Amino acid sequence: GYVYFRNVGERVLIGGGRNLDTEGETTTDFGSNNNIEKYLLNILSTHILTDCDFEIEYQWSGIMGFNKSKLPRVERLPTGIHVAIGLGGMGVALGSLVGRQVADLLLQS
Protein backbone atom coordinates (compact mmCIF):
# COMPACT_ATOMS: atom_id res chain seq x y z
CA GLY A 1 0.00 0.00 0.00
CA TYR A 2 2.97 2.32 -0.27
CA VAL A 3 4.25 4.64 -2.97
CA TYR A 4 8.01 4.60 -3.47
CA PHE A 5 9.98 7.20 -5.36
CA ARG A 6 13.54 8.40 -5.70
CA ASN A 7 15.68 10.57 -7.94
CA VAL A 8 17.66 8.81 -10.65
CA GLY A 9 19.88 11.50 -12.13
CA GLU A 10 17.51 14.10 -13.57
CA ARG A 11 14.59 11.66 -13.51
CA VAL A 12 12.16 10.27 -10.95
CA LEU A 13 11.51 6.58 -10.37
CA ILE A 14 8.08 5.92 -8.83
CA GLY A 15 6.16 2.76 -8.04
CA GLY A 16 3.75 1.15 -5.64
CA GLY A 17 0.01 1.44 -5.17
CA ARG A 18 -0.64 -2.30 -5.34
CA ASN A 19 -3.17 -1.98 -2.52
CA LEU A 20 -5.58 -0.31 -4.95
CA ASP A 21 -6.22 -3.65 -6.68
CA THR A 22 -5.07 -6.50 -4.44
CA GLU A 23 -6.91 -9.15 -6.44
CA GLY A 24 -5.63 -7.91 -9.80
CA GLU A 25 -2.09 -7.66 -8.44
CA THR A 26 -2.07 -11.23 -7.08
CA THR A 27 -0.86 -12.81 -10.30
CA THR A 28 2.10 -14.32 -12.08
CA ASP A 29 1.25 -12.44 -15.30
CA PHE A 30 3.21 -9.39 -16.41
CA GLY A 31 1.18 -6.35 -17.42
CA SER A 32 0.33 -2.84 -16.33
CA ASN A 33 -2.68 -1.96 -14.22
CA ASN A 34 -4.46 1.15 -15.56
CA ASN A 35 -5.93 2.17 -12.18
CA ILE A 36 -2.58 1.98 -10.43
CA GLU A 37 -0.89 3.73 -13.34
CA LYS A 38 -3.35 6.67 -13.11
CA TYR A 39 -2.93 6.80 -9.32
CA LEU A 40 0.88 7.01 -9.56
CA LEU A 41 0.69 9.69 -12.26
CA ASN A 42 -1.61 11.71 -10.02
CA ILE A 43 0.79 11.39 -7.06
CA LEU A 44 3.67 12.41 -9.31
CA SER A 45 1.91 15.53 -10.61
CA THR A 46 0.24 16.66 -7.37
CA HIS A 47 2.94 15.87 -4.79
CA ILE A 48 6.35 15.36 -6.41
CA LEU A 49 6.67 17.29 -9.69
CA THR A 50 4.12 19.98 -8.89
CA ASP A 51 5.67 22.90 -10.77
CA CYS A 52 6.86 21.33 -14.01
CA ASP A 53 5.72 19.39 -17.02
CA PHE A 54 7.04 15.86 -17.38
CA GLU A 55 6.75 12.87 -19.65
CA ILE A 56 6.98 9.18 -18.90
CA GLU A 57 10.19 7.78 -20.35
CA TYR A 58 9.64 4.14 -19.47
CA GLN A 59 7.27 1.99 -17.45
CA TRP A 60 7.14 -1.69 -16.58
CA SER A 61 5.45 -4.20 -14.35
CA GLY A 62 6.97 -6.96 -12.31
CA ILE A 63 6.21 -9.87 -10.08
CA MET A 64 7.00 -9.54 -6.39
CA GLY A 65 9.14 -12.33 -4.98
CA PHE A 66 8.85 -13.46 -1.38
CA ASN A 67 10.60 -16.18 0.58
CA LYS A 68 10.34 -17.67 4.07
CA SER A 69 13.39 -15.89 5.49
CA LYS A 70 12.17 -12.48 4.24
CA LEU A 71 15.75 -11.80 3.12
CA PRO A 72 16.89 -11.41 -0.50
CA ARG A 73 18.52 -14.45 -2.04
CA VAL A 74 21.77 -13.52 -3.77
CA GLU A 75 23.85 -16.47 -4.89
CA ARG A 76 25.42 -18.46 -7.69
CA LEU A 77 23.43 -21.61 -8.47
CA PRO A 78 25.16 -24.91 -9.32
CA THR A 79 24.16 -24.31 -12.96
CA GLY A 80 26.33 -21.16 -13.00
CA ILE A 81 23.37 -18.79 -13.04
CA HIS A 82 23.54 -15.90 -10.59
CA VAL A 83 20.28 -14.92 -8.88
CA ALA A 84 19.09 -11.90 -6.95
CA ILE A 85 15.53 -12.72 -5.97
CA GLY A 86 13.03 -12.50 -3.13
CA LEU A 87 13.28 -8.80 -2.35
CA GLY A 88 9.84 -8.96 -0.73
CA GLY A 89 8.38 -5.93 -2.47
CA MET A 90 11.39 -3.78 -1.63
CA GLY A 91 13.11 -3.99 -5.02
CA VAL A 92 13.27 -0.22 -5.52
CA ALA A 93 14.83 0.28 -2.10
CA LEU A 94 17.16 -2.75 -2.15
CA GLY A 95 17.88 -3.15 -5.87
CA SER A 96 21.11 -1.14 -5.98
CA LEU A 97 22.63 -2.94 -2.99
CA VAL A 98 21.60 -6.37 -4.27
CA GLY A 99 22.96 -5.45 -7.71
CA ARG A 100 26.35 -4.70 -6.16
CA GLN A 101 26.28 -8.05 -4.36
CA VAL A 102 25.60 -9.88 -7.63
CA ALA A 103 28.39 -7.92 -9.34
CA ASP A 104 30.79 -8.99 -6.58
CA LEU A 105 29.74 -12.62 -7.06
CA LEU A 106 30.29 -12.36 -10.81
CA LEU A 107 33.76 -10.91 -10.31
CA GLN A 108 34.65 -13.77 -7.97
CA SER A 109 33.59 -16.48 -10.44
Residue 70's pLDDT is: 87
pLDDT in tens, 4-23: 899 999 999 999 998 899 89
Which pTM does this prediction carry? 0.69
Question: What pLDDT was estimated at residue 1?
Answer: 62
- The DSSP secondary structure of 2-64, one letter per residue, reads -EEEEEETTEEEEEE-GGGGHHHHSSS-----HHHHHHHHHHIIIIISTTS------------
Q: Is the pLDDT of residue 102 over 70?
A: yes
pLDDT tens readout for residues 22-71: 898 888 888 889 999 999 999 999 999 999 999 999 998 888 888 889 88
The pLDDT of 65-80, averaged and rounded, is 90
pLDDT at 84: 93
User: Which of the two residues, 28 and 104, has the higher pLDDT score?
Assistant: 104
